[in-house]
Amino acid sequence: MATQTIDYTRMQLGRVLRTYKRRADCIVARCPKRGRRGERAVTIPQPNDATSPGRPYVSVTHVARNLSFRAPEIGLAGFREATDHCMTTITRENVDDTLGAEDRRRYDAWVAALRAYVEQF
């Protein structure tokens, strides 16, 4: 099993690492908590989905280990483990500082759908 350390603090800011449905899912950005560079991902749950309760948050991985192995009997081809990681819950006070324009639109849609859901009762 070969191990490779990925240090996101040395990568260029704004670099897209992964995409999901043609939008940047993970990018290299500054951590809102520590100010260090890292792989930043924003998670915004669906307000009407009972399987994903919780609040929106920003997850930043500063350093990760990439464990490359082949295990066809269980269907795995690799695994990534975060060794230096931060999480920040998105609130009304820090939403402007934490989110970009695209993520802010998704957050505003989440808030509007959540308020519409609450007003039903």
101: containing domain: 2-119
Q: Rounded distance, CA 44 to CA 99, Å?
A: 11
Q: Which pLDDT score is estimated for 14?
A: 82
Q: Which pLDDT score is estimated for 83?
A: 76
pLDDT tens sequence across 58-115: 888 888 776 665 555 555 555 667 778 899 898 888 888 888 888 899 899 888 888 8
Q: Which pLDDT score is estimated for 77?
A: 54
Q: Which pLDDT score is estimated for 108?
A: 92
Helix and strand numbers (H, E) in the chain are 2, 6
Q: Which pLDDT score is estimated for 69?
A: 58
> What does DSSP say about strands 57-68 and 79-89: parallel, antiparallel, or unpaired?
antiparallel
Q: How many CB atoms lie within 10 A of CB 41?
A: 19
Q: Which pLDDT score is estimated for 30?
A: 86
Number of domains in the chain: 1
3-state SS assignment for residue 8: helix
Q: Which pLDDT score is estimated for 67?
A: 64
Q: Which pLDDT score is estimated for 3?
A: 67
3-state SS assignment for residue 29: strand
Residue entry with tokens 């639109």 = 105
pLDDT tens sequence across 18-67: 777 777 778 888 888 888 888 888 888 876 665 567 888 888 888 877 66
Q: Please measure the distance between the N-terminal and C-terminal CA atoms of the chain and give it in whole angstroms.
A: 54
**In terms of pLDDT, which residue wins out, 118 or 107?**
107
